[in-house]
């Protein structure tokens, strides 16, 4: 078990009980990055946007950039650009309607394939794990 696995359940519980805004900056970074990874690994970018994780797409891009996951941040930016107006709605119901009516079923297939190429590289997650470990020691 690594630092992320140890702190993630507590972060998720804190966010559920107190709200996302109650999290520290470092906690939000960890939560946003792990949500991108979990959702896209489980069902592609379509699942990321279909679920509540898509509410924080812009924050997730910033979190990925902050930890040095530039390739994944770039893929998420490209995925966002496939929505009307080049951005998904931050509102869940509106974004679901966008996905069902305005975004082609295969809109993210090429990005999913590219993501899986990045995420299978063990070094792609090292910056997150290092940052989480450092944050856990200092806070």
pLDDT digits (tens, 9 = 90+) for 9-62: 999 999 999 999 999 999 999 999 999 999 999 999 999 999 999 999 999 999
pLDDT at 124: 47
pLDDT reported for residue 117? 84
- Give residue 89's pLDDT: 96
pLDDT of residue 134: 56
The pTM for the full model equals: 0.83
93-114 pLDDT, tens digit per residue, is 999 999 999 999 899 999 999 9
Q: Which long-range contacts (CB under 8 A, 24 or more apart) does 26-32 make?
A: 26/131, 26/132, 26/135, 26/139, 27/135, 28/59, 28/63, 29/63, 29/66, 29/67, 29/131, 30/4, 30/128, 30/131, 30/132, 30/135, 32/56, 32/59, 32/60, 32/63, 32/64
pLDDT number for residue 64: 96
Which two structure tokens, joined as six digits, stand for 51?
């679920």
Query: Which tokens sit at 1?
Result: 């078990």
Of residues 45, 77, 48, the one with CA closest to residue 61: 77
Q: Which two tokens stand for residue 49?
A: 């946007």
pLDDT, tens only, 55-71:
999 999 999 999 999 99
Residue 123: the pLDDT is 46
Domain edges within the chain: 3-138
Report the pLDDT value the prediction gives residue 100, as an integer from 0 to 100.
93
């Amino acid at each position: 078990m690594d630092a992320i696995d140890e702190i993630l359940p507590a972060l998720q519980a804190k966010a559920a009980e107190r709200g996302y805004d109650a999290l520290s900056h470092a906690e939000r970074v960890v939560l946003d990055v792990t949500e991108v990874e979990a959702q896209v690994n489980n069902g592609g970018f379509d699942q990321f946007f279909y679920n509540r994780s898509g509410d924080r797409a812009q924050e997730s891009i910033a979190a990925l950039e902050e930890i040095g996951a530039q390739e994944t941040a770039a893929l998420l930016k490209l995925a966002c650009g496939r929505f009307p107006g080049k951005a998904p709605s931050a509102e869940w119901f509106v974004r679901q309607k966008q996905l069902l009516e305005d975004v082609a079923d295969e809109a993210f297939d090429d990005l999913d394939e590219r993501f899986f190429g990045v995420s299978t590289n063990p070094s792609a997650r090292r910056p997150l794990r290092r940052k989480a470990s450092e944050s856990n020691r200092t806070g």
